[in-house]
Every structure is written in C-alpha cells, then in structure tokens.
C-alpha cells in the first residue's frame, strides 16, 4: 500500500510527463518527502524545477481564509464567503450548485 506522499506523486506524475517543462505546481510538494519524490521523478524525465516561490502569510490571515472557505459540492471550486452576500444562499457561479463550508 502506498503512503500519502507516494500516492500524491503517483497522481501528479502523469500530468508532469505530458507537460514536461511547462507546468506550475500550486501547493505541492507539501512535505520534504514529496519534494524528494518529485526530484526523483523529474530526474527520470530529465526535467528540473526552475523556480520555487515561498509566500509567507501570517497565522491570523491563514485562519481567516480557512474559516471563510466555502466549496462547491458539485465542481469542487473553492471560494471565500466574503465574496458573497451574507444574507443570500451561496451558489457556485460556475455550476449553480450549493456552496458549503469545508470541513477540516
Ligand atoms: Zn460548482
């Protein structure tokens, strides 16, 4: 059975194999082990990471974003509750499905 890190890289690699040097990863790798696995797989493809951007955000801001995150039950797109009228039912602009608070 694969661990979470191996599982994640196995999901990702088919896309990287197609895109080779023309992709942007957002939120991956999240662990040192994932980074090492990504390096191993990139080496096999003779690809390398050109640039990594680290965005530092205060804990306060992160907690605010997480607490206001709502997700479409249907298409999975995430939104910030502040972008919707608080007195109306929150509906996904993409597919008209109900938006719900994400459970973490
Ligand atoms: Zn949707």
Instruction: Provide DSSP, 42-63.
Output: HHHTT------------HHHHH
Q: How far is the CA of 76 from the centre of ligand 1 (A)?
A: 6
Q: How far is the CA of 42 from the centre of ligand 1 (A)?
A: 33
In a domain, 53, yes or no: no
In a domain, 37, yes or no: yes
In a domain, 19, yes or no: yes
- Does the global pTM surpass 0.75? no
In a domain, 23, yes or no: yes
Q: How far is the CA of 67 from the centre of ligand 1 (A)?
A: 19
Does residue 63 share a domain with residue 93?
yes
pLDDT at 91: 94
- For residue 16, give the 3-state DSSP assignment: helix
Does residue 32 share a domain with residue 65?
no
Find the domain containing 12 and state its range. 4-44
Residues 6+ positions from 101 with CB-CB distance below 8 Å: 69, 70, 71, 81
Q: How far is the CA of 26 from the centre of ligand 1 (A)?
A: 20
Based on DSSP, count helices (H) and strands (E) in the chain, helices before strands. Answer: 3, 3
In a domain, 9, yes or no: yes
- Over residues 45-86, the pLDDT tens digits come to 888 888 888 889 999 999 998 999 999 999 989 999 999 998
In a domain, 80, yes or no: yes
């Amino acid at each position: 059975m694969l661990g979470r890190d191996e599982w994640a890289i196995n999901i990702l690699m088919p896309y990287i194999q197609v895109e080779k040097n023309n992709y942007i990863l957002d939120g991956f790798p999240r662990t040192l082990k994932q980074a090492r696995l990504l390096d191993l797989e990139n080496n096999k493809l003779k690809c390398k990471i050109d640039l990594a951007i680290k965005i530092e955000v205060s804990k306060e801001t992160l907690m605010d974003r997480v607490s206001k995150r709502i997700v479409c039950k249907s298409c999975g797109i995430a939104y910030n509750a502040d972008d919707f009228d608080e007195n109306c039912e929150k509906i996904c602009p993409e597919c008209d499905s109900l938006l719900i608070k994400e459970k973490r």
